[in-house]
Structure 1
Amino acid sequence: MSEREALAILAKADKKATTFGWFGGNKFEEAAELYNKAANTFKLAKRWKEAGDAFTKAANMQVQLNERDEAASTFISASKCYRKTIEILTDRGRFQAAAGHQKDIAQIYESDLVDLEKAMQALANNCLLKVATFAATLEQYDKAIEKFEQVATASLDNQLTKWSLKDYFLKAGLCHIAVGDHIGAKRAIERYCDMDVTFASTREYMESGDVESFTNRVVEFDQLTKLDNWKTTILLRIKKSIQDEPLLT
């Protein structure tokens, strides 16, 4: 499906949501279904911001229907799409635009369906991630590791952010390797594997010293997007050290 198809579905949903009818419940239910369909179609087209907006509209329809559990789940889907948008904008250096979408996430948290305290945590985590990203770019790897791990730990029991654990651990792991502390890197990666079992497959390639396999595995961690500039930069810095000496022996 294309972006054009998604826009057509969205238009139908908007019309359904605003059409007067004696049976409002049916109208909201049909609109919610169409908004969800539009959102998923936008996702296939990798239009993350539009997908997030459509999911948010679907959730608002579900709130009207008093379907609180469904609405909370749909708000989570919207949050994930906005986070993907933030990642892309940040990678392009469009920090002001990225901050605007972080506000969208905060507004989701501030609804009565989720915890206000988590709204503050979401904003704090976003700031910490920016600090970590910039620190690593400046080769301040220890500081970057600290911030990535801090956000990962805060995300463990949060359903809205738990999906990002692999990315946080991956970035922290790359920073550990870039430092050149092989023993520290091994211990950290073992810790990450205990906290997120999906991280274990990347460790195998680090131990083997197979640069291409390691890089390919990193790419697989970001299946929905291309390897971003930040990871590419850090990988280029550590590739030579992996070739010269297996890191985790």
Structure 2
Amino acid sequence: MILFIFLFFIGYYSYKHKPNANSFREFILTSKETNSPSTSSPSTSQDLFKFFNKLLVGQPSVPEFKIDDYYCFNVVSFKDGTATYVGFLDKWYLWSKIEVIGSSGRGDRLFGRKKKGSATEMQVIEGLAYSDKEAAIKAKGKKDYHKAAKSFLSAAKQFKKVGDDSNLLEAANSLEALEKAASIYENSDRQSTRAARVYEILAEQYKKTNSTQHNLEKALKMHRKSAELFELDGDGRFLFSLTSQAELSAEIGYYEQAISLFDNIIILSANDSILSFKVKSHVFLQCLCIIALGDWVRLEKRFQQCIEEYPSFADSRECAFINKLIVSKNSCDPSGFATACKEYDQLTTLSSWQTHILLVAKKYLEVEDLR
């Protein structure tokens, strides 16, 4: 009798502490994040749009599975037959696993160090992408734009992982759908801040998608929309969106536009006790844009003005660097110009567009030197 009561108690306890499907998803995602050296750290942003941040840092997805209930425990099997897990007393345990064979003939584990680009892995990712896209379309039909936006962005990320032409096109289509969702938010008085955040996310995604001129133009448009909406709401993120817009304008080659934007950014930053330390960087980038236009007279005038108005710039490495460039230009010294660039780059790495501007300026200086 006592044994029966004991067994009944054990069975009841096991039944009450049987893990469910949600705990299995959490278990798999945690396992993947722990074992994958390439997984990014979670975003620290506390925006209302947290789910977008999770998608942006590459939160993994769980392959399709079925769960069988055996009263005291559950058994989960992936539908592709690659693994089976047993859930007992609030925990999950691996029961069996079939290794996936990649193109090199070596086994790639499903949730260990996966060999990027294996056929099975790409098929799973592509399937998840189409599933997200279908969920987005359904949500859009029900006018659940919050869910639709989330699913479209997830689909775009999955399609880009596959990487072939057709899937990159699907990714682009998903981003366009997300842009439409953002425009719907924009037209709602209560959702304008959310729309601004979505536009910022879109800008970053467009910049990552092959970085073609078309995509950079789209990213610039998204930054512009985001800045306008943040400013309209009096949101402090306006300055960050404006800065992204100015830097991307300079990268694309819209130097006058970037110079004008930096004028506003420098004034706003100088009047902010927390962001005033960024003034030297903004002045430096503005000076580079003026150099790109080849207007050295304008550069000297702006340079002297910033030294007088912004002490933090006057005492900076950026100021010393720009001064060396001006001196080299006035003395027609391409060697001194190159040395100044090299010394600065050793401590603060110049980006590709910044390097391009300085290389072009140096070539013009060399031509003048030959004359």
| Superposition TM-score, scaled by structure 1 size | 0.47
Task: Name which one, 1 or 2, has greater alpha-carbon Rg.
Answer: 2
| Superposition TM-score, scaled by structure 2 size | 0.33
Higher strand share: 2
Higher helix share: 1
